[in-house]
Chains A and B, each alone.
Chain A
Amino acid sequence: TQLLEQSPQFLSIQEGENLTVYCNSSSVFSSLQWYRQEPGEGPVLLVTVVTGGEVKKLKRLTFQFGDARKDSSLHITAAQPGDTGLYLCAGGRSGGSNYKLTFGKGTLLTVNP
């Protein structure tokens, strides 16, 4: 079983602060995705990274895929209350028709006004 460990599990910060959450594994993934989930809703894809060392930016969010494609980080600059939610990373092993994702347990972020 491929495991994705996310840290921290919980994070509560004030509006305007910066933060980084991590997603680590001992396995290599062909791609890594980050999702955000709000209460009562399903996860929504934020970004997919596929190349070792890749960095992608989405407004105030910066995503990085580790060189060895085993880990990833999500950095949020100047967090806002609207960033509150559960952040899930998911590793993909493509090839063939049975593509499946392995999800981490998530980081629950609360941004206080």
Chain B
Amino acid sequence: NAGVTQTPKFRILKIGQSMTLQCTQDMNHNYMYWYRQDPGMGLKLIYYSVGAGITDKGEVPNGYNVSRSTTEDFPLRLELAAPSQTSVYFCASKTGEEKLFFGSGTQLSVL
């Protein structure tokens, strides 16, 4: 059982470039989330989705976009990368219960 899978594991971007962080889950979870984790700052919610076709902003959505065309996939898009977006990004999913299942993260550096 793969759980939550994130790709890529590592990425270096130049300022102004764009990229998509991929997230897929095989547990048929309705709820999916994107967090960023900065050193000493815990996890901040970027965007979340309660089901296919439904997304909403979290605490720090500026500079990011998401889509949820299927239950399995929840990609995160960075359109114009900035140094402030250097972080580790985690995707997570859950059922109606409160347990979150996290992916192993994408470490992104914007130089």
Contacts and interface: CB of A to CB of B under 8 A. Distances in A.
B41 interface: yes
Chain B interface: which size bin?
A: 20 to 34
Contact of A48 (B4, B48, B99, B104): B99
Contact of B48 (A45, A92, A98): A98
B105 A99 contact: no
Contacts of A103: 35, 42-44
Given A40-B104, A104-B42, A98 B56 contact: yes
B74 interface: no
B102 A92 contact: no
Contacts of A74: none
Contact of B92 (A1, A9, A42, A48): A42
B104 A42 contact: yes
A3 B18 CA distance: 32
Interface of A: 1, 9, 31, 33, 40-45, 48, 88, 90, 92, 94, 97-101, 103-106
